[in-house]
Amino acid sequence: MSDCLFCKILDGEIPADVIYENDTVLAFRDINPQAPTHVLIIPRQHVGTINDIEAEHEMMVGRLFSAAKAIAAEEGLSEKGYRVVMNCGEGAGQSVFHIHLHLLGGRGFDWPPG
Ligand code: AMP
C-alpha cells in the first residue's frame, strides 16, 4: 500500500528503530512511547484492521504473538508481565490502518483500560 505509513517503514522509505524481524513480521519502537517499553509488531503483509483478517492470515497473526513473546523476553518483561494490545478502528484509537500489536511494559497497567 503506497500511502500506508507502516508499509513505508517496511520498505525502508521511513526510518524506524527496528529491534526484531523475521520473514513475516517487523518490530520497532513506538515514536511516542506510552510505557518504558513500547514496541509495535507489524506483519510484512498489509492488512488494514482486525476486520480484514481472513483465514489465510491466521498463521501470520499467530506469528505476531510469537514475536511479542520473544521481544518481551529480550526486554526482560516475561516475569513481571506486559500488555499486548491491538486497536481496531478509529473508535478504539487505531490511527495507522496496518494491523499492529502494541507491546507495552516496564510499568503497571490499570484494568479496565482507558
Ligand atoms: P494505533 O493508534 O493503535 O494505530 O497505533 C499507531 C502507533 O504508531 C501509535 O502509538 C504511534 O505513536 C505510532 N507511530 C506513528 N508513527 C510512527 C513512526 N514513524 N514510527 C514509530 N511509531 C509510529
For a mutational test of ligand 1's pocket, the pick from 38, 40, 94, i.e. the residue with the most ligand atoms closer than 8 A to its C-beta, is 40
In 32-100, the DSSP E strands lie at: 37-43, 83-85
% of the chain with per-residue pLDDT over 70:
100
Q: Is there a domain that residue 80 lies in?
A: yes
For residue 11, the model assigns a pLDDT of: 97
Helices (H), the chain: 5-10, 58-74
Q: Is there a domain that residue 49 lies in?
A: yes
Assess whether pLDDT exceeds 80 at residue 1: no
Mark whether 100 is an active-site residue: yes
Mean pLDDT score of the chain? 97
pLDDT in tens, 55-84: 999 999 999 999 999 999 999 999 999 999
Q: What is the mean pLDDT of residues 16-24?
A: 98
Q: Is there a domain that residue 110 lies in?
A: no
Write out the three cell numbers for 83: 500488555
Ligand 1 midpoint to CA 7 (Å): 12
What's the whole-model pTM score?
0.98
Q: How many domains does the chain have?
A: 1
Query: Which residues constitute the domain of residue 79?
Result: 5-105
90 Rama class: left (phi>0) / alpha (psi -120 to 50) / beta: alpha
CATH, residue 52: 3.30.428.10
Q: Is there a domain that residue 111 lies in?
A: no
Ligand 1 midpoint to CA 31 (Å): 6
Q: Is there a domain that residue 112 lies in?
A: no
For residue 114, the model assigns a pLDDT of: 83
Is 31's C-beta closer than 6 angstroms to any atom of ligand 1?
Answer: yes
Q: Is there a domain that residue 97 lies in?
A: yes
